[in-house]
Amino acid sequence: MSVTRYPVFAQCAPVATRDVPRLKIIDVGANPIDGVPPYRTLLDQNRCSVIGFEPDEAAFSRLQQIKSPHETYHQTAVGDGRQHTLHMCAAGGMTSLLKPNAELLARFHGFSHWGKVLRTVPVPTVTLDSVPGAHPADMLKIDIQGFELEVFKHAPRVLDSLLLVQTEVEFLPLYHNQPLFSEVELFLRSKGFMLHRFWPLKSRTLRPMLINSDIYFGLSQVFDADAIFIPAFDRWASLSAARLASLALLLHDLYGSFDLSYSLLLHIDQRTGGRDAPAYLAALNSVPNAARFETAIEAAPESAS
């Protein structure tokens, strides 16, 4: 379902949107190698400010050239506050504070080259909690090639303030001593977050098989993903109406998670006596030749399948 077919959240729920302040987004590993960030639509609407971190000099320079007035970037590595070794790889997207796992990477097309370490650089790291202005924040986007869990562990204040975390996770140890998805999920769950979705879930074809002469084509082996975490359902009651509306906006505009946004608006309406949820549903249904969104009348299902 294409998010861009639908009106932005502010058009779907104008009353709730009035309570949403300018959102603060932290981007750790802001290298623009992957193109437009997911929060670009919010920058375009003048609804957020961004604090970004990127230790790579070339990537940082590029960010400085293309940034908007509401983006601030630091040429700093985020971690546990200690000094580490940055492994500069042939492909910038593989550069990491962890050493690439050459044996594992050799099982997949291209990665032996992309993950080749060209040089190492000693770098100090900072914790997010130590950065002026980072706390409180609304969203954290993080992609630092296997070191994400260390950032979470050493940023309890920032983590506690977040409504949404978008973190890269791996299902295979691409780097030595790398925490995998299960460890990241367990930690974030212990802090009151639940996994919402993968955005997207990617696979790779094991060598030597090649499909359609495309080394990027994935077949069966799950490889990595961006995982979206939000406050667990049992935390919603402790969030203010403005915070619930902020989360609904993020889920709608960034990920097209219309069912979650609708549930959040229902939660707000129950508190305030408002009518944002029906207005939201009507706005979704105003899009021609699109899916029909309805409120189900509960009945006993015939089967669970």
Farthest-apart Cα atoms in the chain, separation: 63
Q: Which residue has the tokens 């961006």?
A: 226
Confirm whether 296 is domain-assigned: no
Whether residue 224 contacts residue 181, with contact meaning beta carbons closer than 8 Å, is answered with no
Name residues whose C-beta falls within 8 Å of residue 56's C-beta, 6 or more positions apart in sequence: 31, 88, 92, 95
Query: Could you list the residue range(s) of the whole structural domain that residue 269 is in?
Result: 3-284
Edge to edge, the sheet with strand 117-126 lists 77-78, 117-126, 83-89
pTM of the predicted model, to two decimals?
A: 0.96
Confirm whether 50 is domain-assigned: yes
Average pLDDT of the residues in 195-221: 97
- Please count the structural domains in the chain: 1
Confirm whether 302 is domain-assigned: no
SS3 category, 302: coil
Confirm whether 297 is domain-assigned: no
Q: What is the CATH number of the domain that holds 77?
A: 3.40.50.150
Q: What are the tens digits of pLDDT across the range 95-116? A: 999 999 999 999 999 999 999 9
Q: What are the tens digits of pLDDT across the range 51-71? A: 999 999 999 999 999 999 999
Confirm whether 299 is domain-assigned: no
Name residues whose C-beta falls within 8 Å of residue 105's C-beta, 6 or more positions apart in sequence: 111, 112, 114, 115, 174
Confirm whether 245 is domain-assigned: yes
Distance (Å, rounded) from C-alpha 234 to C-alpha 28? Answer: 28
